Amino acid sequence: MKRCPACGEVKPREEFSKAGYCHPCNNRKGREYSKANREICNAARRRRRQANPGKARAEDKRARELKRTRDPQAFYAKQYERTKRWRARHPEKVREILQRSYDRNRSPFGYELRQAMRLLEKLRKEIANAKEQDRGSSQPVV
């Protein structure tokens, strides 16, 4: 058992951090420190992330996932707002994207052409199969 110098409570040794405080006190002190030393902590965080971009990405992903599962409605609402803002800021890109999908789907003969290509591909396969079967059956007979 050990006594925490911050809160004065006596707790088992495994409930203490390396710094010598109990976990709740250590967490609180950490929060207080980073609040009081914003610039230092932000810079340190930036350095850590720059040194290990893979880990930073993984952390971001985990944080996003947590937000999404904790409050999906808020998460998707925010995402929607972000998309709306992006669209307002990039009207030319929105037009380009819409135009591209329009061209893909509605170009003259686009649909008919795709249908014809599909039919052609199907026939080509059928012919190849028929030839394959022909070759197989014509050899052993005679």
Binding positions for Zn ion, rule: CB under 5 A:
4, 6-7, 22, 25
Which of 15/60 has CB closer to Zn ion?
Answer: 15
- Residues with Cβ within 8 Å of residue 135, at least 6 apart in sequence: none
Measured from the CB of residue 31, what is the shortest distance to Zn ion in angstroms?
14
Measured from the CB of residue 41, what is the shortest distance to Zn ion in angstroms?
22
Which of 32/103 has CB closer to Zn ion?
Answer: 32
Measured from the CB of residue 30, what is the shortest distance to Zn ion in angstroms?
13
Sort strands 10-11 and 2-3 into parallel, antiparallel or unpaired: antiparallel
Which of 7/127 has CB closer to Zn ion?
Answer: 7
Measured from the CB of residue 24, what is the shortest distance to Zn ion in angstroms?
6
- Residues with Cβ within 8 Å of residue 6, at least 6 apart in sequence: 21, 22, 25, 29
Give 7-51 as a DSSP string: T--EE-GGGB-TTSSBHHHHHHHHHHHHHHTHHHHHHHHHHHHHH
Which of 23/125 has CB closer to Zn ion?
Answer: 23
